[in-house]
Amino acid sequence: MNTAQQYYGQSVPMQQFDYQSALALSETRNIIEYFYRDWCGLQISKDGNKITVQRVSKPIFTYEFSKKLESEFFIEINRITGRTSYTTDRLNQYYLKKAETRTQVLAVEGIHHLISEKAWNAILEMKKKELWGSEHNIEWDYDDPVNVDMLMIVKKEYDLENESFGQDSILRNLFWSMQIFIEGGLNRSENHLTLDHEKVVHKESVIQNTSEEATQKEGVLESAKRWINERIGG
């Protein structure tokens, strides 16, 4: 056996930890901010180093309620990175109680923050007539979120306070979008892990399989685990 064959026979693939990718997978703020912007009908646009926020659709909720949901999402979803140890029974209880609470929040509070097509058209009409600044002292541009004061104003001035536009169906669809996202997050607890950072996030490399390097390999992986656990909870 030649030297090359000896080296190849002693070589094994090593799963080397990729810190940045692991942290990116466990970080949820960007995803949750996407939800917030979607509820406001906005998206981020990048042109080189310049970042702007642009409107892409009619807003679903007011700014205030969108921020409320975003904050609650961030607290709840970051249980992913907290490595919870929920049992199946506890997860099911949590899903049920949170689902009940979320439906109440949407039905009691969220319904008053929904922006209909008529309300949106009224907001745009008032912008065109320059009424927001002159009559209501509100500085608003097309690419800005819609706040609750603006919604209340157009509801009153355009007689939309008792408007029916399928609010129940809209809220039901939004509820299930939120619920699926949250359940998927909690299923990454220790007992229901669908995304194992230590196994999925890795780079393939080849090392010489000596006892010294085997020991070094074990030390690198253990150090990596400790490093991640210190930062995302373990």
| Predicted pLDDT at 17 | 42
- Cut 0.95: pTM above it: no
Which ranges of the chain have pLDDT less than 50? 2-20, 22-26, 195-221, 223-225, 227-229, 231-234
DSSP 189: S
Lookup: tokens for 54: 């642009």
| Predicted pLDDT at 225 | 47
Residues 6+ apart with CB under 8 A from 37: 43, 44, 53
| Predicted pLDDT at 186 | 65
| Predicted pLDDT at 202 | 34
Residue extents of the structural domains in the chain: 14-116+165-232
How do strand 42-47 and strand 50-55 relate by DSSP bridges? antiparallel
Residue 40 near residue 63, CB atoms below 8 Å: yes
